[in-house]
Structure 1
């Protein structure tokens, strides 16, 4: 909360903050709140999950089913390098474009470079389509450093190898394999020693 308030104050813009204490089971209560929310932000670790790098069960459950985007925020480490990138995982499904747009907006807001992560062996027509899309976004956002990266060994190996240089991973809820591995053991292992947060975007037709 202290870090969030500092970030808000740095914008020098008026921000209305409301505090509401909800009673009930955490997952069900948060899912109900998500129905009318633009974004749900959760800490990566709950009170019962003190193991370093492990995402709590509440954050995992909410990120998998909420009707709005969910940010799973890891502890901020001020000593980390300031030029860390926003990595966007895109796949050839209906919400790929929405995930890309949300990730680029986040990168622009943070003044961060962008790494667009594609599958190791995409089909040629899929690769060409995304290259055209990226060219459009480079023209639209000339101030952003946007580059495509091929995850030859998969997402988790990429995160483990480059986690120190990343500040945010943006992905879709309908990613291949689902969100569970990302916020579960494989994702926790890959991001264990980092403060890279995860933003899970809901499908475009979510109600």
Structure 2
């Protein structure tokens, strides 16, 4: 019999936090647009439930409640998405990495999974740098119960894989795309500086994509230093930065206040 979890899906890491529910709501459109299931997974850390009587049953109960709450929030959107849920046992990072082998995308909250590595950094950021599929880290105020909305997509123009995903996201969300052209910083103070431009290089790089995506409104800017550092200085709530997974690890873009979609060069 076919293993249903070998089929493509959009995976969301659920841990009982409001940030995780925000990630699930954000991921609904990703699953609907691809006509694939939205797979909600809760990972019980085996170390946390070992040696304590009743701890495993307690965590299982918490996992069921968290998955129920996330499923209910998704159902309340009224969108035609198939929901799958699963409870896994192991290290959250390891299990989500395993999920990335077959997932079309993994979505996590920027806050909810951060505690899981006990001082070793964010599961969300580490997963984004190492997963085998694109990873969306949704940065949203967990007090906001509304469905997360994307106001604009931002991407560096010199990475074709990143740019394709950025155009797809802009089309899906019905928002403008801001294409960033990166130039070396002239001085330390120039890092993160930017200006609107009409440059032949930008026009040439974007010409093919604007033909393929004529419905996407495109804006362009030149920045000094690095696109991620630019976003660290100038990100706005609701923006989605689409960037290379390796580049995202080089700066504190996950703390910039915007959501981040990381793409590896092989995620085509």
Q: Same fold (TM over 0.5)?
A: yes
Aligned to 2:132: 67
Query: What is the DSSP-based 3-state SS (H/G/I as helix, E as strand, rest coil) of the residue aligned with 1:203?
Result: coil
Deviations 1:51-85 (A, max 9, x none): xxxxx521121111111101111125589xx7832
Q: CA deviation at 1:179?
A: 2.9
Query: What is the DSSP-based 3-state SS (H/G/I as helix, E as strand, rest coil) of the residue aligned with 2:183?
Result: coil
Choose 1 or 2 for highest CA Rg.
2
Deviations 1:127-179 (A, max 9, x none): 856532412222332322112211124334522443126510001124xxx33
Q: Does 1:104 align with 2:167?
A: yes
Deviations 1:11-64 (A, max 9, x none): 855211100111101111111111111101111123528xxxxxx521121111
Q: Does 1:197 align with 2:243?
A: no
Query: What is the DSSP-based 3-state SS (H/G/I as helix, E as strand, rest coil) of the residue aligned with 1:35?
Result: coil
Deviates more, 1:12-21 or 1:161-170: 161-170
Q: Does 1:148 align with 2:220?
A: yes
Cα 1:161–1:180 shift into 2, 3 Å: closer
**Aligned-residue CA RMSD (Å):** 3.3
State the distance in 2 between where 1:7 and 1:33 align.
Answer: 15
Q: Is the 8 A contact 1:85 1:165 kept in 2?
A: no
Cα 1:205–1:145 shift into 2, 3 Å: closer
Aligned to 1:89: 156
Cα 1:201–1:47 shift into 2, 3 Å: closer
Q: 1:173 aligns with which of 245, 256, 259?
A: 245
Cα 1:89–1:11 shift into 2, 3 Å: farther
State the distance in 1 between where 2:106 and 2:26 align.
Answer: 19
Query: What is the DSSP-based 3-state SS (H/G/I as helix, E as strand, rest coil) of the residue aligned with 1:159?
Result: helix
Query: What is the DSSP-based 3-state SS (H/G/I as helix, E as strand, rest coil) of the residue aligned with 2:88?
Result: coil
Cα 1:169–1:44 shift into 2, 3 Å: same
Q: Does 1:131 align with 2:197?
A: no
Aligned to 1:116: 179
Q: 1:25 aligns with which of 80, 91, 94?
A: 91
State the distance in 2 between where 1:83 and 1:43 align.
Answer: 15
Query: TM-score if structure 1 supplies the norm length?
Result: 0.72
Cα 1:10–1:137 shift into 2, 3 Å: farther
State the distance in 1 between where 2:206 and 2:245 align.
Answer: 21
